[in-house]
């Protein structure tokens, strides 16, 4: 029996003007009844276009069928076969461009709420699983693989390799595992105990985690391979280097990279009184950029007590790269969008503190050679937005530490590590994926890369065995 | 956890701790730093590596008990352990091509100058050193410094020990007498380093400044430690901590260093003198 309602079941949320003052999760999630009702909207169509949109190939119609039957644990097992972080993906994936974007129900109405269902299933499992259900370590094949970085790419790769018996060690530069899931994405979008739960699951399966290890400084990839016995390395170090605008005034006090601002709040928990993290509360905050990170920073600024928060972006609403849902949430929380404006300088007082940001208005220019219209500045349209903090959220690029400390590792002009379709780098036994290769992208793409790397690493190591056997029969 | 294996009070407010951190000790070189975190609730605080012992797997840090975190750290004892201790971070001191170097240290900065002096001395570089202190009471590491250089010029601002005067006075005197140093290295409060750089400029001597800045991760991620060097944006954590002092925008650096001063003073009131480094919750 198919539920033919054209609209998704709404997900209950905290009220906007309540939630913009706390760090608790915005959405509460489906009840069992709502989940079953939503699952019944799935047509179980034969073409399964949703699965083609999933970078980690979750068997979407199959898990939804189990939800519709009320067998939530079976649904969880189906998702777990291919995804190591279902509770995370259900929350932060841009489903509208992936699975849900392909859903047949989306042609005449709204797609099935696949993300909401995935989240429901993962949360249901977490609530109902018993300690004895914890995953057990697979029998070890004794072969050591090092993973650099414990973000989504690293965690996904570790999960797939440890299931096959590899002896996996993750090296993390910070004091906590999770990468962007813990330092970047705020608690109100992705509660940190959910990330911790996923990390703990991997540790229970036998993955080793070394925090406070900066690869390239504490130990190099060459040392890992030559001295520590790692046969393969997966570089999943992300894109952590913040970009700045390169306009005057960016070093005034009160100008932050989004990385710094978010790390203080999310990783270092500046919003909690019991943490020592220093933080200056600003009254008027200008966030430069239009992506998800800009939305996160703006919504954090509200919650940290700012009276007015602005998003400054040089194009219009239609071109905002952030997810529609995030933009909508930010608007509901009274973040003010000052679009088609481009910053030209940051203004400071005599002590070097930020006072305002000068912008110029933008309009769409004539189409260029590629046919794309680019924003151009309107003459004499400069104006100043008063503010006491500016957050630069215009993107990140990969950190140079690993590529400059690893012999023979090639990277492109943007600093992204070169890797082929199997994620093999220019160094034998060294693989790379996620933002370290593509530049800043999404959690789920990084996870997809992590899975692919796991497969390539396994193939590489088995092939190496065959070679060293010299083709003789054994 | 990273266990404290040795503790020595160098003066009333400066403490030296030797900490078990094999991964850091293995690779540490002069000029590099670590970041520590006392416990789950602590800040991440950068400190220069004062010494390291590869065999024992230990790293020594020296710090002034001025902020909440360093005060709490100063109250920890041998056997206590820190939650986090990561490094070595930053680019090691560049020694290539140097034959004769003058190191200028100020206050607690002398503790940070010590590993550089010692490293250069061991590498066969002739090292002279000016160690400046406010007053006799706060003189630290005199023997260690003596053993790391050819000539140690110990100065106090008030003349209670060594020669009277600021480090820059001695610096000019040495440069005027025609001592031809390949480089001057300045380590200390930013204001002192700024003056050292101003003093050496007319002599056209390469001057290296070892900088500290507000930072979180120490790997280039937060950008909080950005400064302007020769008109370009640099990160103290990964491009430094040592820079050409003649190119550093000192006024900007000094201002940026004060950003959390109010919070720091407020937090300072809340260091419990009874429990020390051990936080009591609930």
CA-to-CA separations, A43 to A95, A123, B45, in angstroms, rounded: 18, 24, 56
Across the interface, do A214 and B37 touch by the CB < 8 Å criterion? no
- Residue A139 covered by a domain: no
Encode pLDDT of A416-470 as tens digits: 999 999 999 999 999 999 999 999 999 999 999 999 999 999 999 999 888 776 5
**Chain B residues near residue A253 by CB distance under 8 angstroms:** 255-256, 258-259
**Chain B residues near residue A183 by CB distance under 8 angstroms:** 221
Quote the domain boundaries for residue A157.
144-240+397-468
Pseudo-torsion of CA A289, A290, A296, A301, nearest 10°? 50
Q: Do B59 and B126 fall into the same domain?
A: no
The rounded radius of gyration (Å) of the Cα atoms in chain B is: 18
Q: Kindly report the average pLDDT of chain B as a whole number.
A: 92
Q: Which helix (H) or strand (E) holds A315?
A: none
- Residue A6 covered by a domain: no
Q: Which of A122, A2, A4 is nearest to A63 (CA)?
A: A122
Burial (CB count <10 Å: 0-12, 13-18, 19+), residue A163? middle
Nearest CA in chain A to B261: A278
Q: Do A347 and A401 fall into the same domain?
A: no
Q: What sign does the dihedral A211-A216-A221-A227 (CA atoms) show?
A: negative
Q: Is residue A136 pLDDT above 90, yes or no? A: no
Q: Do A386 and A269 fall into the same domain?
A: yes
pLDDT band at A473 (very low <50, low <70, confident <90, very high): very low
Q: Do A248 and A218 fall into the same domain?
A: no
The pLDDT, as a whole number, for residue A470 is: 58
Across the interface, do B222 and A277 touch by the CB < 8 Å criterion? no
Domain boundary among B210, B225, B240: B210
Nearest beta carbon to residue A214 from set B216, B219, B256: B219
Distance from CA of A255 to the nearest CA of B (A): 9
Across the interface, do B223 and A274 touch by the CB < 8 Å criterion? no
Q: Do A364 and A276 fall into the same domain?
A: yes
- Residue A9 covered by a domain: no
Distance from CA of A19 to the nearest CA of B (A): 24
Nearest CA in chain B to A261: B222
Q: Do B106 and B12 fall into the same domain?
A: no
Query: How many domains would you assign to chain A?
Result: 3
- Residues ≥6 apart with Cβ < 8 Å to B47: B33, B34, B35, B36, B61, B62, B63
pLDDT band at A474 (very low <50, low <70, confident <90, very high): very low
Quote the domain boundaries for residue B196.
100-210
Which CATH number covers residue A65?
1.10.1060.10
Q: Do A192 and A168 fall into the same domain?
A: yes
Nearest CA in chain B to A252: B256
Distance from CA of A355 to the nearest CA of B (A): 15
Q: Do B110 and B65 fall into the same domain?
A: no
Q: Do B188 and B117 fall into the same domain?
A: yes
Q: Do A274 and A370 fall into the same domain?
A: yes
Q: Take residue B256 and report the two structure tokens written for it.
A: 């940026």
Domain boundary among A394, A426, A458: A394
Encode pLDDT of B71-116 as tens digits: 999 999 999 999 999 999 999 999 999 999 999 999 989 998 999 9
Q: Is residue B190 pLDDT above 60, yes or no? A: yes
**ipTM score of the complex?**
0.92
Distance from CA of A264 to the nearest CA of B (A): 8
Query: How many domains would you assign to chain B?
Result: 2
Q: Do A287 and A181 fall into the same domain?
A: no
- Residue B258 covered by a domain: no
Chain centroid to CA A104: how far? 27
The verdict on pTM exceeding 0.95 is no
Q: How far apart are CA B192 and CA B170, in angstroms?
A: 13
Which CATH number covers residue A349?
3.50.50.60
Q: Do A272 and A407 fall into the same domain?
A: no
Q: Do A284 and A330 fall into the same domain?
A: yes
Q: How far apart are CA A359 and CA A377, in angstroms?
A: 10
Q: How far apart are CA A317 and CA A294, in angstroms?
A: 14
């Amino acid at each position: 029996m198919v539920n033919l309602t054209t609209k998704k079941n709404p997900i209950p949320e905290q009220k906007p003007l309540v939630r913009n003052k706390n760090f608790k999760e915005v959405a509460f999630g489906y009840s069992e009844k709502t989940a079953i009702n939503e699952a019944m909207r799935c047509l179980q169509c034969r073409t399964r276009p949703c699965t083609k949109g999933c970078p980690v190939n979750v068997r979407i119609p199959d898990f939804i069928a189990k939800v519709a039957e009320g067998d939530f644990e079976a649904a969880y097992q189906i998702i777990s076969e291919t995804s190591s972080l279902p509770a995370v993906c259900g929350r932060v994936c841009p489903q509208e461009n992936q699975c849900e974007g392909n859903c047949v129900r989306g042609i005449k109405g709204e797609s099935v709420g696949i993300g909401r269902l995935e989240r429901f299933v993962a949360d249901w499992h977490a609530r109902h699983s018993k300690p004895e259900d914890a995953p057990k370590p697979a029998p070890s094949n004794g072969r050591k693989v090092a993973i650099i970085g414990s973000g989504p790419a690293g965690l996904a790769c570790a999960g797939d390799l440890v299931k096959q018996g590899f002896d996996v060690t993750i090296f993390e530069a910070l004091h906590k595992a999770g990468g962007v899931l813990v330092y970047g994405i705020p608690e109100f979008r992705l509660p940190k105990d959910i990330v911790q739960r996923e990390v703990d699951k991997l540790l229970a399966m036998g993955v080793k985690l070394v925090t406070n290890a900066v690869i390239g400084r504490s130990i190099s990839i060459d040392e890992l391979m030559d001295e520590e016995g790692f046969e393969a390395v997966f570089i999943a170090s992300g894109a952590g280097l913040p970009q700045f605008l390169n306009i005057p005034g960016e070093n005034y006090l009160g100008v932050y990279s989004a990385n710094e601002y978010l790390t203080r709040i999310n990783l270092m928990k500046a919003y909690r009184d019991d943490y020592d993290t220093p933080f200056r509360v600003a009254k008027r905050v200008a966030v430069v950029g239009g992506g998800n990170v800009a939305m996160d920073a703006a919504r954090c600024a509200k919650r940290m007590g700012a009276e007015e928060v602005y998003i400054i972006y040089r194009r219009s609403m239609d071109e905002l790269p952030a997810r529609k849902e995030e933009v909508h949430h930010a608007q509901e929380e009274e973040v003010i969008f000052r679009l088609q404006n481009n910053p030209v300088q940051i203004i400071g007082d005599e002590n070097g503190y930020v006072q305002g940001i000068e912008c110029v208005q933008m309009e769409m220019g004539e189409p260029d050679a590629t046919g794309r219209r680019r924003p151009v500045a309107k003459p004499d349209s400069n104006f100043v937005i008063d503010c006491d903090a500016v957050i630069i959220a215009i993107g990140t690029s990969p950190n140079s530490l690993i590529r400059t400390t690893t012999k023979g590792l090639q990277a492109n002009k943007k600093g992204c590590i070169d890797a082929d379709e199997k994620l093999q780098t220019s160094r034998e036994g060294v693989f790379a994926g996620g933002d370290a290769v593509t530049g800043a992208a999404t959690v789920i793409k990084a996870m997809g890369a992590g899975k692919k790397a796991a497969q390539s690493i396994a193939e590489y190591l088995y092939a190496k065995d065959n070679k060293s056997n010299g083709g003789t029969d054994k | 956890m990273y266990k404290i294996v040795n503790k020595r009070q160098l003066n009333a407010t400066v403490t030296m701790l030797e900490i078990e951190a094999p991964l850091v000790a293995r690779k540490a070189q002069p000029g590099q730093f670590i970041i520590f975190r006392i416990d789950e609730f602590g800040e991440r605080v950068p400190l220069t590596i004062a010494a390291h012992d590869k065999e024992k797997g230990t790293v020594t840090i020296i710090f002034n008990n001025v902020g909440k975190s360093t005060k709490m750290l100063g109250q920890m004892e041998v056997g206590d352990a820190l939650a986090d201790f990561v490094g070595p971070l930053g680019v090691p001191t560049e020694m290539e091509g140097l034959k004769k170097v003058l190191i200028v240290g100020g206050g607690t900065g002398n503790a940070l100058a010590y590993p550089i002096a010692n490293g250069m001395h061991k590498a066969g570089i002739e090292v002279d050193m000016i160690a400046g202190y406010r007053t006799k009471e706060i003189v630290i590491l005199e023997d260690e410094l003596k053993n790391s250089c050819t000539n140690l010029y110990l100065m106090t601002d008030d003349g209670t020990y060594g020669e009277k005067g600021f480090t820059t006075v001695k610096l000019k005197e040495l440069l005027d007498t025609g001592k031809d140093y390949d480089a001057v290295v300045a380590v200390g409060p930013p204001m002192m380093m700024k003056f050292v750089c101003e003093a050496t400029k007319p002599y056209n001597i390469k001057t290296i400044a070892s900088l500290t800045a507000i930072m979180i991760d120490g790997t280039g991620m937060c950008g909080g430690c950005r400064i302007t060097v020769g008109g370009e944006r640099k990160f103290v954590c990964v491009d430094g901590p040592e820079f050409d002092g003649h190119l550093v925008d000192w006024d900007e650096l000094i201002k940026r260093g004060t950003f959390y001063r109010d919070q720091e003073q407020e937090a300072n009131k809340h260091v419990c003198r009874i429990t020390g480094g051990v936080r009591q919750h609930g």
